Amino acid sequence: IAGITQAPTSQILAAGRRMTLRCTQDMRHNAMYWYRQDLGLGLRLIHYSNTAGTTGKGEVPDGYSVSRANTDDFPLTLASAVPSQTSVYFCASSSTGASRDEQFFGPGTRLTVL
Amino acid sequence: DQQVKQNSPSLSVQEGRISILNCDYTNSMFDYFLWYKKYPAEGPTFLISISSIKDKNEDGRFTVFLNKSAKHLSLHIVPSQPGDSAVYFCAAKDQGGKLIFGQGTELSVKP
């Protein structure tokens, strides 16, 4: 089934540990995004990539890094997790980064940092 | 500084009646708006969109209205069905093509 997969589905992590959230899409979309969803704040963009080999910072990039080595994969890394990074993380993709492109979302990763 | 605001965290409606979800924005440069629907434990899915050159867009039971002078848009669902119960996010595209989301409104449609 075409779409976006994320792994893990959920994770409990000790503060200070390193964690990588995985995201893979099979739609050959050029643009990919990482969001976090927090109650009362909606979804906020962490990082994005308009095409393989390029990345950019979103609204809340601090404490996170991304890479885009190929079209399909867009991992998000927390180098040293902190409790404020407890959230639900969504990966998304779109055909291009153009204004009218619909973004397709993965099922999310629920992360708890203790 | 929330550029896209959904001031109602929740809304409860009787099945068959109209649901109206509201959204306000502050940046007059936004020219494309979207509504996403999200069920628990799933990612958001695209529902309907509207360009700023229009004031209305309709798709079946869903209609989005845009009032540019008031910087306000609304999503109407008629008639509401229990399967419409979900969190609805309003979003605006910024000049770089990135989505700016509102906080979400949880709609509950009661049988």
Q: Residue A46 — very low, low, confident or very high, per pLDDT cuts 50/70/90?
A: very high
Mean pLDDT calculated for residue range B13-38: 96
pLDDT at residue number B56:
97
Share above pLDDT 90 across residues of chain B, in percent, rounded to a whole number: 91
d(CA A42, CA A25) in angstroms, rounded, equals 23
What's the CA angle centered on A75, arms A44 and A26, to 5 degrees?
95
> How far is residue A86 from each of residues A19, A62, B50, measured CA to CA in Å?
12, 14, 33
Share above pLDDT 70 across residues of chain A, in percent, rounded to a whole number: 96
pLDDT at residue number B97:
82
> How far is residue B87 from each of residues A7, A66, A103, B8, B58, measured CA to CA in Å?
23, 28, 17, 11, 20
The pLDDT tens digits of the residues spanning B54-87 come to 999 999 999 999 999 999 999 999 999 999 999 9
Tokens representing B74?
């609304």
Can you give chain B as a three-state secondary structure string? Answer: CCCEECCCCEEEEECCCCEEEEEEECCCCCCEEEEEEECCCCCCEEEEEEECCCCEEEECCEEEEEECCCCEEEEEECCCCHHHCEEEEEEEECCCCCEEECCCEEEEEEC
CB contact under 8 A, B43 and A106: yes
Interface test with A, best of B27, B46, B99, B103 (most A CBs within 10 A): B99
pLDDT at residue number A102:
86
Can you give chain A as a three-state secondary structure string? Answer: CCCEEEECCEEEECCCCCEEEEEEECCCCCEEEEEEEECCCEEEEEEEECCCCCCEECCCCCCEEECCCCCCECCEEECCCCHHHCEEEEEEEECCCCCCCCCEECCCEEEEEC
Q: Does residue A114 surpass a pLDDT of 70?
A: yes
* Chain B partners within 8 Å of A105 (Cβ): 36, 43-45
Q: Please name the member of A44, A90, A97 whose beta carbon is closest to the beta carbon of B97.
A: A97
* Chain A partners within 8 Å of B103 (Cβ): 40-42
Q: Residue B1 — very low, low, confident or very high, per pLDDT cuts 50/70/90?
A: confident
Q: Residue A72 — very low, low, confident or very high, per pLDDT cuts 50/70/90?
A: very high
Chain A residue with Cα closest to B100: A44
Q: What is the mean pLDDT of chain B?
A: 95
Q: CA of B55 to nearest chain A CA: how many angstroms apart? A: 17
Mean pLDDT calculated for residue range A47-76: 96
Mean pLDDT calculated for residue range A76-100: 91
